[in-house]
């Protein structure tokens, strides 16, 4: 954080300072991470109250406290009406001081990948602050803004939500120069009520645009007309997540996939065309790259920045990772999270590989009353795309394996799934690709780790030696 005084902070958060003034360089809401000299904000939630830890904060060396309740401490205190709102106001004030060119991204899936693509591109031009991990809600966004320092020329912020109004709040803090909705799909339906509710909630991101801000719209989305109707007084550009679309300003031509599943294509933009080679696998990342190009060009990136950034970016932590666990077995670990759109995109990637293709699917969470229907649709889509086997684990995903047919097998334990995989692959000499996918609550990362550590690879290597 940029260095500011307690007196300045009190003014920004509409608080009253009691005690002596001091300079602050860092803010925290967690006493477990607190370092000497930090300002501690005592947040309150349904299941916790940060005011209970004020004594701990003082013991750990905090310089002051922001509180909404009376607290016993010898430290300086900034008293406010609501500490969560104070956190937001402080984050907004710091952002206004640094004033970086700012991109805001939301969507049902893909927003983290687009964020990382934008950061990789803009890092060719200057210092970039990008959202870390899942710090994309009404607490995480202001905490991210508080990480801004004077040297940051760009900020790329991911905004998530599970209910109406959350993105409106965080976008008002961020005030982006350019904003987008990657897509709107069946996700968090328990909080939004319907698919249209998702689209409406995501559209809140455009309300916080600066006066001359630009909205980037997915031209292929079924909700594009709805979003464009809200943007009649705004500057708008459109991208196509597939190939050429007559209404799109950004689109791709001459698309091909390499053996590692990474796409190569000609990127077409209002400023010209350039060849792109992606470092991330999956045809769905073509659309993500289109969007990243559109967003970053609005804040000054060149075609060469885009080409270089996309070609050399690192794997996105926690997202799709391709691992060769044995000479003939490839593991696509996409276990971080799942909704219908992201699962279908992963199935598209799986279908692009040769040999036997096996989908290992866990439950997709927060899909509301139509959960079983959406799992059924995923099972049918996997069958339509020619996936050889669908192995499911969990309660809801059983619907997917049931509609898949004979090659769909349901399991209740990871151990049973591993035995089933080994039996299925016992006499298999072709290349094998396993895709592991599911919501975070399904803990599919544990399933992926179990597959990687299992005897599948050892058995495959033994067969290879015998064949030689």
Which H or E run includes 106? Answer: strand 101-106
Burial (CB count within 10 angstroms: exposed 0-12, middle 13-18, buried 19+), residue 452 = middle
Burial (CB count within 10 angstroms: exposed 0-12, middle 13-18, buried 19+), residue 264 = middle
Largest CA distance in the chain: 79
Asked if domains 99-312 and 321-458 share a fold, the reply is no
Q: How does residue 355 score in pLDDT terms, banded at 50, 70 and 90?
A: very high
Residue with tokens 């039996």: 423
Q: How does residue 225 score in pLDDT terms, banded at 50, 70 and 90?
A: very high
Q: Which tens digits make up the pLDDT trace of 82-101? A: 999 999 999 999 999 999 99
Q: How many CB atoms lie within 10 A of CB 3?
A: 11
Q: Which two tokens stand for residue 338?
A: 């799942």
Q: Is the pLDDT of residue 114 over 80?
A: yes
The span from the CA of 330 to the CA of 322, in Å, is 7
The span from the CA of 231 to the CA of 115, in Å, is 23
Q: Is the domain covering 321-458 a CATH 3.20.20.10 domain?
A: no
Q: What phi and psi values does residue 199 have, to the nearest 5 degrees?
A: -60, -40
Q: What phi and psi values does residue 237 have, to the nearest 5 degrees?
A: -130, 155
Q: Where are the alpha helices (DSSP H) in 390-455?
A: 398-404, 414-425, 444-453
Q: Is the pLDDT of residue 467 over 50?
A: no
Q: How does residue 326 score in pLDDT terms, banded at 50, 70 and 90?
A: confident
Query: What pTM, to 2 d.p., does this model score?
Result: 0.83
The span from the CA of 72 to the CA of 40, in Å, is 14
The span from the CA of 187 to the CA of 162, in Å, is 9
> Looking at residue 460, what is its pLDDT?
46
Q: Which two tokens stand for residue 220?
A: 């292929």
Of 160-164, 212-216, 369-373, 383-387, least confident by mean pLDDT is 160-164
> Looking at residue 464, what is its pLDDT?
41
Q: Is the pLDDT of residue 157 over 90?
A: yes
The span from the CA of 71 to the CA of 77, in Å, is 9
> What kind of fold does domain 4-83 have according to CATH?
3.40.1390
Q: How many CB atoms lie within 10 A of CB 30?
A: 14
The span from the CA of 295 to the CA of 120, in Å, is 12
Q: Which tens digits make up the pLDDT trace of 287-296? A: 999 999 999 9
Q: Is the pLDDT of residue 55 over 80?
A: yes
- Mean pLDDT across the stretch 216-244? 92
Map out the domains of the chain as residue ranges: 4-83, 99-312, 321-458
The structural architecture, per CATH, of the domain 99-312 is 3-Layer(aba) Sandwich (3.40)
List the binding residues. 107-113
What contacts 171, CB < 8 A, 6 or more positions away? 104, 159, 179, 204, 205, 206, 207, 208, 209
Q: Which tens digits make up the pLDDT trace of 208-223? A: 999 999 999 999 999 9
List the binding residues for ATP. 107-113
Q: How does residue 379 score in pLDDT terms, banded at 50, 70 and 90?
A: very high
């Amino acid at each position: 954080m940029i260095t500011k005084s307690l007196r300045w902070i009190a003014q920004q958060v509409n608080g009253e300072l009691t005690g002596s003034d001091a300079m602050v360089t860092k803010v925290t809401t967690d006493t477990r991470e607190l370092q000497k000299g930090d300002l501690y904000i005592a947040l309150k939630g349904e299941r916790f109250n940060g005011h209970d830890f004020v004594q701990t904060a003082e013991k750990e060396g905090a310089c002051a406290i922001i509180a909404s309740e009376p607290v016993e401490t010898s430290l300086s205190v900034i008293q406010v009406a609501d500490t969560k709102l104070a956190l937001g106001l402080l984050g907004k004030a710091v952002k206004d001081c640094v004033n970086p060119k700012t991109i805001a991204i939301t969507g049902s899936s893909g927003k983290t990948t687009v964020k990382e693509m934008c950061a990789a591109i803009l890092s060719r031009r200057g210092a970039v602050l990008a959202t870390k991990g899942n710090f994309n809600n009404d607490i995480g966004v202001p905490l991210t803004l508080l990480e801004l320092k004077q040297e940051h020329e760009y900020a790329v912020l991911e905004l998530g939500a599970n209910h109406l109004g959350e993105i409106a709040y965080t976008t008002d803090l961020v005030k982006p120069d350019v904003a987008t909705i990657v897509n709107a799909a069946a996700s968090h339906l328990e909080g939004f009520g319907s698919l249209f509710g998702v689209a409406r909630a995501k559209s809140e991101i455009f309300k916080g645009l600066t006066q001359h801000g630009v909205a980037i719209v997915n031209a292929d989305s079924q909700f594009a007309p709805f979003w464009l109707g809200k943007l009649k007084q705004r500057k708008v550009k459109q991208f196509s997540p597939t190939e050429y679309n007559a209404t799109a300003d950004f689109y791709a031509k001459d698309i091909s996939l390499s053996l590692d599943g990474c796409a190569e294509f000609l990127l077409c933009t209002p400023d010209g065309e350039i060849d792109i080679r992606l470092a991330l696998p999956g045809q769905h990342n073509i659309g993500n790259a289109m969007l990243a190009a559109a967003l970053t060009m609005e804040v000054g990136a060149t075609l060469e920045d885009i080409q270089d950034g996309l070609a050399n970016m690192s794997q996105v932590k926690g997202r799709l990772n391709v691992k060769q666990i044995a000479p003939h077995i490839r593991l696509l670990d996409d276990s971080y999270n799942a909704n219908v759109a992201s699962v279908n995109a992963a199935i598209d990637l799986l279908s692009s590989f040769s040999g036997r293709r096996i989908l290992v699917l866990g439950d997709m969470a927060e899909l509301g009353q139509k959960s079983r229907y959406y799992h059924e649709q995923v099972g049918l889509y996997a069958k339509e795309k020619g996936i050889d086997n669908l192995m499911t684990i969990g309660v809801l995903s059983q619907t997917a394996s049931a509609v898949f047919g004979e090659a769909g097998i349901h399991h209740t334990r990871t151990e049973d799934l591993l035995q089933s995989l080994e039996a299925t692959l016992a006499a298999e000499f072709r290349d094998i690709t396993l895709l592991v996918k599911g919501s975070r609550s399904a803990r599919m990362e544990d399933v992926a780790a179990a597959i990687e550590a299992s005897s599948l690879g050892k058995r495959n290597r033994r067969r290879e030696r015998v064949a030689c």
